[in-house]
Amino acid sequence: MIEQASPRMESLRRSVVWFVASVLVLAASSIGLSRFLETETPAVSLALDPMNVDALISELTSDLNDTNNAPDLDKLLVGAQGALLFNLGDARLYSLIGEIKSRQGEKHEAYQLFDHAQKLSKTEIHSLQKSIGRNVEAGDLSKAVGEIDILLRRWPDQFSTVADGMPTILSDPGGYKAVLAAIVAEAPWRSTLFAALGKTREGLNSANRLLLDLTGSSAPPKAGELATVIAGYIRQREYEPAYRLFLFSLSDEERKLGGYIFNGTFEPGPGSRPFNWQVRDQSGLEVIFASSGHAVEGEGGATVRFLNTPVKEAALQQYIALPPGVYKISLIASARNLKLPKELFWSIRCVDPAGEIARFNISEGTYNRQNLSQEFSVGPTACPLQLLRLQTAAIAESWRFRYVGTLIMHKLSIERIPS
């Protein structure tokens, strides 16, 4: 016969169960809270859960990166090595110990630790960056590029950490070939690379060469990359190579739209690179490019609809490159109930040095395919780049000056007048 437990023993058993359950709940809560705090407040996280390796790594990294206080390297080393006893497969700990050893002057041992971290995890960020720097210094640039590709595929926000080494890599034949191969293989960081190269004169040379070599490959230059490099040349006041690259980037179909003004018939779709039309978003108007048969009343060109609100500054612009000489700008345009409280005009301005060369006013009212033209000249003094802009004369967005109606520009052209 099984004896029933006494009420006192049953109460004691329930108390023990409740106590164990409470401890387990408290431990789980502490671990959960520790996880929640491990990034922002790793010290508090460790107090709640001393075994939280993520919190420990955050705290060690924070101490190593503290620029206000010199870290106690011996103390940090003890903490990292202690955590390693329970986390032998964590590549981050080997990398941290390697960084501490490096700062202590033990370079050989440090790189052994970095190499071991890489064996455990090819994408461990710190050891990967160290390996990239070491290979760049050693001249093993092909290997460095392979590691850069791994780094940026896993950590796309880390391009700034390798940007300084790119000029060295691209100046070397082997390094350049490796970068080109990575781009052809559609490396996800290719656009970021062109954006970085577009900021310096040296970088622009490399970017231009890459774009030329990508032409005809399985990964040809993208419109955004071309626009970035062309704009970079303009910022550097290198106007001739900027225009030359633009001309080179044109497709066979786009070349048919060439002239002193590119795409003077406002055909839709050829992109928004400098030396092509760039439309500025404006709340008071909308601009639509349409081929013949798709625009207002079946007439092709650029349709500008004014929405009965103030309109300030430019709506449409394009860089042009006119050599010194005498020219005629001509516009074939239609208008529907066009009311212009302030002037609406095309301006041609010299970019460098800044200054207006010509102003070509547009008539208000209603008319159909009206021909407008005006002569102007580009002087013999240096003005290698001009900016063609459609803009209003409004200085402030006053509701007393509201633009109303529709302007359809069928064709805008510039012709040189023989002297």
CATH code of the domain containing 335: 2.60.120.260
pLDDT for 65 beyond 50: yes
More confident residue, 276 or 63: 276
- Which of 92-101, 188-197, 293-302, 398-407 shows the lowest per-residue confidence on average (mean pLDDT)? 293-302
Average pLDDT, the chain: 83
Question: Is the residue at 358 inside a domain?
Answer: yes
Question: Is the residue at 386 inside a domain?
Answer: yes
Task: Give residue-wise pLDDT tens across range 70-109.
Answer: 777 788 778 778 777 777 778 888 888 888 888 888 889 9
Question: Is the residue at 295 inside a domain?
Answer: yes
Give the C-alpha separation, 169 to 177, whole Å.
9
Give the C-alpha separation, 388 to 164, whole Å.
37
**What is the Rg, in whole angstroms, of the alpha carbon atoms belonging to the chain?**
33
Return the axis-axis angle of helices 91-103 and 53-64, rounded to nearest 10°: 20
Give the C-alpha separation, 406 to 404, whole Å.
7
Question: Is the residue at 300 inside a domain?
Answer: yes
pTM summary value: 0.77
Task: Give residue-wise pLDDT tens across range 18-28.
Answer: 444 443 333 33
Question: Is the residue at 45 inside a domain?
Answer: no
Domain containing residue 369: 278-417
Based on the structure, what is the number of domains in the chain? Answer: 1
Give the C-alpha separation, 117 to 111, whole Å.
10
